[in-house]
Amino acid sequence: MKTRLAVLAAILCPTVALAAPGDKPGCADHPLFPTRLPDYKITDCKVSEYDSVRFLKMKQPERTEEGKVTYLFYQRPPNQGASALEIVRNYQNALTKIGATIVDVDERHFVYGKVVQADREIWAQAEARPGGMIRLYVVEKKEMAQHIVADAAAFSNDLKATGHVAVYGLYFDTAKPELKPESTPALQEVAKLLASDPSLKLWVVGHTDSVGAIDANMKLSQARAEAVVAALTTTHKIAPARLRGYGVGPLAPVASNAAEDGRAKNRRVELVKQ
């Protein structure tokens, strides 16, 4: 219990994690793992307030989690790094001691797990790299703060100019077709768009990134498009004859799927003028 309370206090008070001598300036251990293997230094790090991590897989299906992401890279002098087994076992034991669930592990490669602290879900993955190097990701799950919300007028202008417009304010959980509550502002603007022009008819087109099997993505994009149509016709009382949902999966990307920022742009719902 004392160990868990100490870890919880560290997570809630980020100043507990201090840089160690020899670490890259601005880098420090994550409070979830306040100690490290002997003689290791942090040679690279990055903290993103909102990003995603695609976890490795051995026995479990592929998983992606989003939230505040901390990336740390540890090295020891060449030819003096710990074995892959030692690295993985150390992080596996550390996660277990704070009550984490080990989700997947390859004892010669990686381990990742999940822990809930103060009603926050935290995911961590430690990966043993060649030469005894360590790559660590910690994802503190949270919803993205949506700062940019397009309005009905912007939708109308894009439809007139190009015949289609992407609506990025529609949110779904990973691999799920149900609209999340924070989608309401965007749905309201689409409803305003349709109310302002009673003759306007739209195809609602779902898009995904290229992660996963194409057949599953085609079905998911169709289901998401239909969920948007259902919300507009039921909650917002738009005539069903004015809307039709379709899914094209990953077949019409607007950016490269090689990096997460591109994949995020590709996961979208578009309105296309009929």
The predicted-structure confidence for 60-112, as pLDDT tens digits, reads as follows 888 899 999 999 999 998 778 999 999 999 999 999 999 999 999 999 999 99
The superfamily (CATH) of domain 152-273 is OmpA-like domain (3.30.1330.60)
CA-closest candidate to residue 39, choices 10, 79, 70: 79
Percent above pLDDT 70 for the chain: 91
| Structural domain spans, the chain | 2-141, 152-273
CA-closest candidate to residue 107, choices 95, 91, 124: 91
**For all residues of the chain together, what is the average pLDDT?**
89
The residue that leads in pLDDT, 151 or 177, is 177
Q: What angle do CA 15, 21, 23 make, to 5 degrees?
A: 80
Render 180-227 in DSSP notation, one character per residue. Answer: PGGGHHHHHHHHHHHHH-TT--EEEEEE--S-S-HHHHHHHHHHHHHH
Confidence label for 251 from pLDDT (cuts 50, 70 and 90) = very high
Mean pLDDT to the nearest integer, 230-254: 96
What is the reported pLDDT for 19?
A: 67
Q: What angle do CA 15, 20, 24 make, to 5 degrees?
A: 100
Answer whether residue 118 shows pLDDT above 80: no
What is the reported pLDDT for 1?
A: 46
Confidence label for 150 from pLDDT (cuts 50, 70 and 90) = confident
pTM: 0.56
Answer whether residue 15 shows pLDDT above 50: no
